[in-house]
Amino acid sequence: MSKKEFDIFVPGRLCLFGEHSDWAGGHRRQNSEIEKGYAIVAPTNQGNYARVKRLDEPLFRFVSEPIGKSLEAKMESGKLREIAEEGKIFSYAAGVACEIISSYEQFKGNGGLEIINYKTNLPIKKGLSSSASICVLVAKAFNQIYDLGFTNRRIMELAYLGETTTPSRCGKLDQACAYEVPVLMTFDSDQIKVEKLKLGGNFYFLIVDLNKGKDTTRILSDLNEGFPWPRSEIEIRKHEYFKLNKKIVEEAKDAFEEGNLSKLGEIMRCSQQYFDDYLAPSCEELKAPALHSLLNSKDIAPFIFGGKGVGSGGDGTAQLLCKSSRDKQNVKRILAERGLNSMELSLKKKE
């Protein structure tokens, strides 16, 4: 090991296209007629910052300076699993630590790990995978300190397994924050394919907090009705949505690689319309009046190419594609006057 201390940054993730396709594609293990899941996912500019170091004693220590709380536990899978299953503030970190030390023999009595999460600027419960960011942070910390040679795919897997040790039931899409570039993900039963996107231009997004509540558990429960086998017209249309999603994601991939902002904005509007027509009738939460009010706002229309919802849907968060960096600031100002906070996401072509 060449170094005993590292700084690590792990972003959140924004699902630009393909919401819900990860769990839907997973149902192909029972019903192969379900379309594969396709999603385009980008890292946020915000995330979790940490200093990590090896400890001589077999302890797992996670310090969250932003909230002034910490966890310290023996590096034992039984104790860490117990903390994970409690579903409390440090359960995500403990779940990943448990998964790693259960899978790799070298951790039995041979030292520990300290993670000091000294800065967090990623909002929670806004569809940006704040919990997955912590899970990936823990997996990356073990990898860095102990030279485990994890690929990004392996980090994603360990983060997912760790998070599902907790009461959370995240999708595999959430762990895409292990990648620091936009990716196209394909979900086929238990298999995941990840392809890095090459951007043909600069894309300026705003992620807008709608200041409303939504019940994600209810949304997921209602949408899962009819999988893997549809039994009604509404459930058949949910299956049809994922065939349309494949087309949407393929066209969005082309627009990103061409650097075609206006085309991408049109695809965003089309994607939201499909979501409203095929999925929203299944759940009252998905009517999303605040989201649709924002997307139809005339005062921001001159500055954006398009917009859509984020994550599970509903009145949680929206994403807007602005025409330029200056237009992004104009929209941000208008939204602030309405009392809406927004975060910037800039995806830029590599020179």
As given in the structure block, the two tokens for residue 156 are 């994603």
> Does residue 5 sit in helix, strand or coil?
strand
Comparing C-alpha atoms, which of 37, 48, 250 is closest to residue 130? 48
What is d(CA 92, CA 130) in angstroms, rounded to the nearest whole number?
Answer: 10
Write out residues in the chain with pLDDT < 50, as ranges: 1-2
CB–CB of 159/178 below 8 Å?
yes
Strands (E) located in the chain: 5-17, 37-55, 59-64, 69-74, 112-120, 183-188, 191-196, 203-209, 304-309, 317-322, 342-347
pLDDT of residue 2: 40
Domain boundaries, the chain: 5-196, 203-347
CATH class of 203-347: alpha beta
At residue 123, the pLDDT reads 78
CA 134, distance to chain mean position in Å, is 11
- CA-CA distances (angstroms) from residue 283 to 17, 138, 216? 20, 35, 11
Distance CA 280, CA 122 (A): 28
pLDDT of residue 3: 55
Determine the Cα angle at 342 with ends 337 and 348, to 5°.
Answer: 130
> Partners of 195 in the beta sheet?
184
Tens of pLDDT, residue by residue over 273-321, are 999 999 999 999 999 999 999 999 999 999 999 999 988 889 989 999 9
pLDDT at 1 (0 to 100):
39
| The dihedral formed by the CA atoms of 324, 326, 327 and 330, expressed in degrees to the nearest 10 | 160
| CATH topology assigned to domain 5-196 | Ribosomal Protein S5; domain 2 (3.30.230)
First to last CA, the chain: 34
Buried b (16+ CB within 10 A) or exposed e, 134-157: bbbbbbbbbbbbbebebebeebbb
The DSSP symbol for 277 reads I
**Cα–Cα distance measured from residue 271 to residue 237, given in angstroms and rounded to the nearest whole number:** 15
- pTM for the full model? 0.88
**Contact of 117 with 65, CB cutoff 8 Å:** yes
Residue 263 is predicted with a pLDDT of 98
Average pLDDT, the chain: 93
